[in-house]
């Protein structure tokens, strides 16, 4: 029987540790299964661990500061229920506060700011804790779930584009010849996605209007294109980019650029989601 099937359902299923080095109480995320079909898990990676699907809270490796888990060994993880998680030195949490994966110390758990951004809540802290000089384990109730916050940002114009590069403004206003900030990110880790653009009057022929979300990380001094972009061509009146996603830093400004080679295209609305 494979290790993946030899467990108590919903309590402490064993996984194969694919990389090793995790402390007891750290969050693990899914990895590809072994060739035998055994479930594997590893520490989170990257700058947005709160967006990685959690496999559970590691219950193997002993005390904080030890050598941690060993790669390829079976490990036990709490997927639901009372456990302990590692909170990074200097962090503070309150009883009942949601916890999420910590980007500063991968594997540790930090308090999640309410109404901040989409991501995986790992559960709730069962005790308050004031940051100390070293990382420590804190009582926690594991209950992983995805929290989705969606803020819709819309730019538009009642104008005709002409063969120009212009920028959308709040709906109902004229086009601008310079960038107009439509949104400012309040929290690190916010993500933009799902761009959709519409024209009341199509470009016609082989003409196009290209809509691109731009970002400024220096309060508008300089702007750069993001990968979130779509093109309306010919007789079409709408286009979308539902594939790309761009992670923001706190304070990033966003605008919508429209590059047109059409003389007829007019009256635009473009919307994207901040999650």
Q: Are 135 and 190 found together in one domain?
A: no
Among 232, 257, 227, which Cα is nearest to 243's? 227
Whether residues 261 and 206 share a domain: the answer is: yes
Same domain as 74, residue 113: yes
Q: What is the residue range of 228's domain?
A: 151-274
Q: Which residues contact 243 (CB under 8 A, 6 or more apart)?
A: none
Position 13 scores a pLDDT of: 60
Look up residue 222 and give its two tokens: 């300089």
Are residues 183 and 136 part of one domain?
A: no
What's the whole-model pTM score?
Answer: 0.80
Q: Residues in the chain with pLDDT < 50?
A: 1-11
Q: Are both 129 and 72 inside the same structural domain? A: yes
- Same-domain pairing of 155 and 216: yes
Q: Are residues 68 and 160 in the same domain?
A: no
Domains contained in the chain, number:
2
Rounded Cα distance, 156 and 174, in Å: 8
Same domain, 50 and 99: yes
Specify whether 14 is located in the same domain as 101.
Answer: yes
Closest CA to 266 of 154, 158, 179, 155: 158
Interatomic CA distance for residues 268 and 176, integer angstroms: 13
CATH number at residue 240: 2.60.120.40
Report yes or no: 154 and 191 within 8 Å, Cβ to Cβ.
no
Mapped onto helix, strand or coil, the DSSP state of residue 4 is helix
Q: Which among 98, 122, 147 is the end of a domain? A: 147
Q: Where a domain ends, among 119, 147, 175?
A: 147
The confidence score (pLDDT) of residue 62 equals 74
Q: Are residues 140 and 218 in the same domain?
A: no
């Amino acid at each position: 029987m494979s290790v993946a099937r030899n467990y108590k359902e919903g309590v402490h299923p064993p996984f194969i540790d694919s990389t090793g080095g995790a402390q007891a109480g750290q969050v693990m995320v899914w990895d590809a299964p072994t060739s035998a079909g055994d479930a594997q898990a590893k520490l989170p990676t990257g700058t947005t661990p709160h967006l990685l699907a959690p496999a559970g809270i590691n219950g193997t490796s002993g005390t904080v500061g030890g050598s941690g888990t060993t790669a390829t060994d079976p490990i036990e993880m709490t997927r639901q229920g009372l456990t302990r998680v590692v909170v990074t030195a200097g962090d503070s949490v309150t009883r009942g506060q949601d916890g999420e994966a910590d980007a500063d110390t991968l594997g540790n758990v930090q308090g999640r700011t309410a109404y901040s951004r989409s991501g995986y809540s790992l559960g709730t802290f069962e005790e308050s804790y004031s940051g100390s000089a070293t990382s420590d384990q804190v009582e926690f109730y594991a209950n992983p779930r995805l929290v989705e916050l969606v803020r819709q940002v819309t730019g538009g114009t009642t104008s005709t584009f002409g063969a120009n590069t212009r920028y959308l403004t709040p709906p109902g206003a004229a086009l601008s010849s310079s960038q107009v900030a439509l949104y400012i990110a309040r929290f690190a880790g916010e993500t933009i996605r799902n761009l959709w653009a519409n024209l009341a009057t199509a470009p016609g022929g082989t003409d196009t209007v290209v809509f691109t979300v731009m970002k400024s990380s220096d309060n508008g001094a300089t702007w750069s294109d993001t990968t979130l972009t779509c093109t309306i061509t010919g007789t079409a009146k709408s286009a979308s980019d539902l594939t790309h996603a761009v992670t923001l830093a706190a304070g990033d400004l966003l605008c919508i650029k429209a590059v047109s080679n059409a003389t007829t295209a007019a009256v635009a609305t473009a919307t994207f989601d901040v999650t």
